[in-house]
Amino acid sequence: MALNPTNLVLQAAPLPATFTGDPNAFFRAMIERCRIMSASGTSFFIISDVEPTSNQGPWLKGGTQWWVWSDTLNKYVPLDVSESETKWYQTGSTVPVVQDPPLWLRTTGGTTVIGPAQGQPVGWYLFNGTSWVGFTELVDGSVTLPKLADAPPGSLITFGQTNKALLLALGQPDKFLKVNSAGTAIEWGDIPATVLAGLLSSQVFGPLSDPGGYNSLTQSITVSMTESRDAFIYAHCCVNPTEGALAKISMTIDGAFADSALIGAVGGGFAYADRFVLLARQQLSIGNHTITVTIPATGGLVIFTDPVFNNNTPAVKFVVNLL
């Protein structure tokens, strides 16, 4: 191992004039009277990649990190330099009481302290010598009031592929806002007719007829709901009243009265077909609902029209329109 020169000085005190002894005694006397001196003082530390197992003085790990020996842990620990660390900014929700450092990260909570702290960031402020001035609007891609003021009324804010805020201006008249075909952005455009047709069809049950077939005095259907919805409920009825007959036809929903109409005929001495609509609006909850139209017994003077004599048209057509 090569040795390097140092600024250390070896000093020795003179032997007494009365010294006597053999060569070993002479050697010991010389060593006892020698000392190594330095004009500026000397510090010793170790440089290595491997942690020493005993106290060898300060350890410069890998030539870049300072570690010191801990008598408590009996091992080397990183050197604590927090007291000499430079604090570049302040963090908190309250106005700083000091102006150094002159940079403040305003947050949603907590008293402002020098250095980093927890909290939801609001914006950056710089002390200009008199007051704290926000400069977040200088950050590229931020949403600011001046940018909003430049947009037409009703414009929307979205984000581009680089996460910069963008203004989505109003579309052309009669256009709809939708997600593009790639599923990556929103855009103005037309709604395909197939989509609109499917939407409307999903809102309507009917026309429906009694699955039990024709009955001269009662017709009924059952509608199954998967969610609670308000609905218009229609019953398109076709009846045969005879001369001098009179009856009140009624509609019930789950056994509760919903609507009615008065049916009658005078003069002529013959039977004929009459059409009318019963209507109700109410909320249909989740589950099955029974809708029934009934004619009171009149001895056959007022009955539902038999499909056999009416081109196979159902006596009652039910339609449920969800709102």
Asked whether residue 197 carries a pLDDT value surpassing 60, the answer given is no
Listed in sequence order, the residues at least 6 apart from 115 whose beta carbon sits closer than 8 Å to its beta carbon are 87, 89, 90, 91
Judge if the upstream peptide bond of residue 207 is cis by omega within 30 degrees of 0.
yes
pLDDT digits (tens, 9 = 90+) for 163-193: 555 666 677 777 777 778 887 777 777 766 5
For residue 137, the model assigns a pLDDT of: 47
Q: Which helix (H) or strand (E) holds 165?
A: strand 165-168
Which domains are present in the chain?
8-38 (no CATH), 46-83 (no CATH), 90-138 (no CATH), 145-189 (no CATH), 204-322 (2.60.120.40)
Residue 217 near residue 301 (C-beta atoms within 8 A): no
3-state secondary structure of 258: strand
- Pair of tokens at residue 96: 């700083």
Instruction: Looking at mean pLDDT, say which of 34-43, 203-212, 278-287 comes out highest.
Output: 278-287
Q: Which residue has the tokens 């004039």?
A: 17
Per-residue pLDDT at 261: 87
Check pLDDT > 90 for residue 17: no
* Residue with the larger pLDDT of the pair 80 and 282: 282
> Tell me, what's the pLDDT at 285?
92
Q: How far is the first Cα of the chain from the last one, in angstroms, to the nearest whole number?
A: 94
How far apart, in whole angstroms, are the C-alpha atoms of residue 202 and residue 315?
25
What pLDDT, in 10s, does the model give residues 87-112? Answer: 789 999 999 999 989 999 988 888 99
Pairing of strands 186-189, 302-304: unpaired
- What is the reported pTM? 0.41
Tell me the per-residue pLDDT of 231-263, one tens digit each, with 9 for 90 and over: 999 999 988 887 667 788 999 999 999 999 888
Predicted local distance difference test score (pLDDT) of residue 138: 44
